[in-house]
Structure formats: structure tokens, C-alpha cells
A and B are shown apart, each in its own frame.
Chain A
């Protein structure tokens, strides 16, 4: 695999483990053990069983006929929105809770933006009877109130992050501080392909089930081995990495990663990291991040809490730099309109995160025989109030 990680935890120039010494034993333990644990037959069997019976996998690959007609291509939706808890985040949460159990950890912490990863983590902790603390930006707690309530109902403690922009980046800082203070009994379930190595690789592997299934399903639908295009939205980039994973070495498949432009790339209110970012270090890895000339992290903005992050995972930074994937961006308004369109053409209300990926279809030129897979990473229930406010329903 040409685009995967090397022994030191780097994807080309990006990755590594830029962590304070306090976290070294935890990261080292993970680095040494995660492959042994996750490659073990017993682990795999339990992971697959839970994905099937509890999550409801495989998620369908749905041929969206009316959307296909509109854009003049064969468009397939990878229905991660139909997973238990409503998004792809559960795939990783199941993998990591099984890992945490095998590492003997008694307490779980997580960060969350839109709340989808927080809900997924609270869910697996309830399932396994493990204490759960979720850090969430104060601003996000307000705009994603239903998910806060869900986490509490599932028995998790939700702790507001009140520093900085009070969004995902700050929740991640708080979770890292908690881990520094509780290094021995606690496992940190990072929700995206970010953080110090081995997290980006570990999360990508747990999410790679998305493309593993999609590849098989596309063949059943079309008889073709490979799609022409694969699209997914990117905040930190976990659904995109899962959706790209098994296509990375198939160079003829065009990978399109859709970032949040917020109010516009040049508006000063954006989260389009690949355009606005520079190389640097964020949350434990060398990657691309939005920062000032002085190396201070810039507060990102997107209407979608799950994309409101100033960096991208190090593997995305690498795919961007070597141009294996194309990184584009979509504004708040374009995403909301695409969400409405998908609702009315296909009867599917997408999460605003996922709606960003659909909005980019509008800007692409297709041949009618093109096969296109879009990752529908989450359902829109959590975003209803935002949609209602925007469209005055």
C-alpha cells in the first residue's frame, strides 16, 4: 500500500506523535499493542459480530436514481446514516472500546464536535458497562442539544469545553488534558483520523469497513470493479478515510474530499483547511492546519459542527500534498441547499456534514456512464433545527 503509514508513524511528511512525555507511555502502549490486538482472530470475530448485529452492517449501497438523473451519472450512496446511532462514528467506537477492554482500561474519554462521535462513544460504553466522559465545546453543546441529551441518557458525563472557540478543537484539548491527568486507567477514544500515531491509522482501519463493503457492493450493482469517483466530506476526515481506504491504490478512482468553506473561503469564517492551512503540528501530529504566521491556531468556522476543525488528519495532508485526492470546499448555503435537494429527491435528510459532499456534485462534470459513490456519513435528525431556521419551515 503506497499511501499508508511507515514504521515511525508518518505518511510522507505528515503524522508522527508530537505528544508531551506524560502521554508517551499510553501512546507507546497503543503503538506496540494495537496491531496485535486488532489482528487477533478473537478480536476480529467480536468486532465483526457487533458491526453486524448491533450496528446493522453492512450498510446499504443505494443507487439514488433521481439524483443520478439530475446529475447525469450513476450515483450511489453509502448509507452510513443507517448505522445504529446515525453515523459512521460507531464503527470506530466499537473497535476502540474492544481495544480498550483488552488494554485493561476502566474509563473512557472522548471529544466530540457534532456530537455523533460522543453519542457513538457513550453508546459503546453503555453496551460494555464502562464509565464515559465526553468533552464537547460549549458552542457545539448549544447547536447540537439533542445529541447532548442522548449522551446523558446513555449514561455519559458531558463536560463543556469553555476555552478558545469552544468547539471541536477545544474539546480535543480538554480530552488530552484529561488523559494526561489520568494516564493509567483511561483510554481516549479519538473520533477522527487525527492525533498522535497510531490514532490516525487505527481509526482509518476501523473505518475502512466502509470502502471494503462499498467495493463489493458496487460490483454487485454494476458488475464493475471500481467506481470513477468517490466523494466524502472532511473535517478531521474519518468518514473520508474510511471511504477512500480500499480505493487508495486504485489510482484510476478519483477521490474527492469536500471541506467546509463556511461563509466562503476568503470570508474569514471558514474551515477549508487545505486552502487556508499551512504545515504544522496540531493535536499530536504534523499535518496541515489553519494558523497565523506566528503559529497560533486559527479558530475555524462552519455551520456544521462536525467539520468545524482547523486541521485535517495527517494521511489527508499527505493525499493532498501528493495529489492522490482532490480537496474542494463547499459553503454553508451550498451544503444546506444540497441537504434540501437530497431530502426532496430521495427522501433522505442528510447530516449537514454529509450534505457538503452532495453539494459538490453540482460542480462536477460527469459522463453518463460514470459510477460515483458518495459517503452519506450521517443522518440529519441532529441538524433539523438548523435546517428549519435556514429554510423557515
Chain B
């Protein structure tokens, strides 16, 4: 059986229906309040986010800058765990219809048990997983079949330094979208989209990959969102939203935040 026939989830339907200007938003589960996960998700959907990435926090997030590190530590201090997150997500599909991905580091997932993690994620209605420190080799050897069995997409990252042959391989292994990093950097660094970055976006576009692409890292405002979506199917806002969550009355002001990026 091919990968395509195994995986037909909300992500695939979304990319079929809408090809451009998709907006995804990342936030860390348990931040700024332990039990606000679904409230934030629901507000984002209502405000017009097309899909969501919910971060499961890790003590040592090496690919993240200070903003997401801080939110992760706060969430852990408040008592966030994978068990609690899955408990919170039990009502996910009663409240939210857009695609949802879980994003985090390999160790909490491995410690929880990858099989158990995937089963739980599928059970609550999660569509895919992004684990930046789970490399292609290990995924293929150890986890690909488990992900497929539970109809979960694994999302790979591509950076400006990723070689063409590897991008082709990633395209082959992917079954919903490819996450393009705007630059080789940790999260939350402000980005000016330069000619070099644009030529990298163009290079990827010209490769005519079979999977849609979404650009993330450094997408903090409308200008960056517009540049990114000129080259890819969508863009991901992470640190900028997490920073926003640290401000007052964040829940009722989520529409305002989304408007500031998307309008």
C-alpha cells in the first residue's frame, strides 16, 4: 500500500481545498495558563487560522529561541505533561474542525512510547506530528510504520542548506506538507526576507514538489507572511504569537492578532 492511500486526513483535505495564503499558528500547550489549550485553539480557529501546531513542552528545546523556551518552562512549571495534554485534547474534535499538529522534541515522545503517543494522538483527532530532532533515518527505520498505522503525518523540515537530493527524499517520505525554514536558525529570530531567502524560496518552488510547502521560523508580521505565501502554500507564526500570549486579555484579543497578520 502506498503512503498516499494510507493517509487521507484533515491536512490533505485542507490543502486540496485551499492552495494559497494558509496561516498556521503555533502555541505551547500549558502557556500562559495550564488549562487554556483548547480555548486558545478555538479562538484561533474562529479568528481565521487555517491549521494549528500545539507544542508539547520540553525542558531542553535546542531548536528554540528564548520566547518558546520560556513558554515551555512556564508550562512545565505549571504541570503540563503529555498525559495532561492528551486529557485536555479529549474534546478537541467537539470544539475544533481545522487540522491540528503536535510539535515537540523526541525525548518526551520516546519516553511516553511512540506507539502509545501515536495511538493517543490519533484517538483525540490530531492529524500530524512535527518533531524537529527526529531525523529522517531514525524515522524511517523505527517509526514510519507506526505513524502510518495511526494515519498521522510526519512533517519534515527543509532549510536553505538542505541539498536537493535530500529535499527529494523528504518529498517522497512526506504525505501532507513540507515545513520550509526561512533560514537556518532557531525560532523567534526576527526575519528580513532578503533576496537570498527569496531565491531559496523560488528554488524550492521551481522543484515542483508533490507536497505543499509551508514557511515558518521568523514569520512575525504581515509583511513576512505575505512574502512567504507568495512562494509557498502557507506560513506559520510561532514565537510572535507566543509572545502575544504573554500579554493581558490575550484570549479576547486573538482575532486582533490574526487580523494583523492576515487581513
- B65 contact set on A, CB distance < 8 A: 177
**B108 and A25: CB pair below 8 A?**
no
**A22 touching B82 in the complex, CB below 8 Å, given contacts A180-B184, A291-B107, A295-B109:** no
Q: Is B81 an interface residue (CB 8 A)?
A: yes
- A338 contact set on B, CB distance < 8 A: none
Binds B, one of A210-218, A250-258, A259-267, A274-282: A274-282
- A160 contact set on B, CB distance < 8 A: none
Binds B, one of A12-20, A322-330, A356-364: A12-20
**A282 and B133: CB pair below 8 A?**
no
Residues 348-369 of chain A: 1 if any B CB is under 8 Å from the residue's CB, otherwise 0?
Answer: 0000000000000000000000
**A18 touching B60 in the complex, CB below 8 Å, given contacts A183-B161, A281-B107, A281-B110:** no
Q: Is A293 an interface residue (CB 8 A)?
A: yes
Binds A, one of B9-17, B151-159, B203-211, B234-242: B151-159
**A281 and B161: CB pair below 8 A?**
no
Binds A, one of B31-39, B45-53, B134-142, B253-261: B134-142
Please measure, in the bound complex, the distance between the C-alpha atom of A183 and the C-alpha atom of B133, giving whole angstroms: 16
Q: Is A40 an interface residue (CB 8 A)?
A: no
Most A-side CB within 10 Å, residue of B81, B109, B134, B184: B184
Interface size for B (C-beta < 8 A) is 40
Least CB distance from A231 to B in Å reads 30
Number of A-B residue pairs at CB separation under 8 A: 108
Q: Is B162 an interface residue (CB 8 A)?
A: yes
Please measure, in the bound complex, the distance between the C-alpha atom of A24 and the C-alpha atom of B160, giving whole angstroms: 11
Q: List 30 A-B contacts (CB under 8 A).
A: A16-B137, A17-B135, A18-B133, A20-B157, A21-B132, A21-B157, A22-B184, A24-B159, A25-B159, A25-B161, A25-B163, A163-B69, A164-B59, A173-B60, A177-B62, A177-B186, A180-B62, A180-B184, A180-B186, A183-B161, A280-B107, A282-B107, A283-B62, A291-B107, A291-B111, A294-B111, A295-B108, A295-B112, A296-B59, A297-B107
Q: Which residues of B contact A (CB under 8 A)?
A: 58-63, 65, 69, 73, 76, 81-83, 105-112, 132-135, 137-138, 156-159, 161-163, 166, 181, 184-186, 189
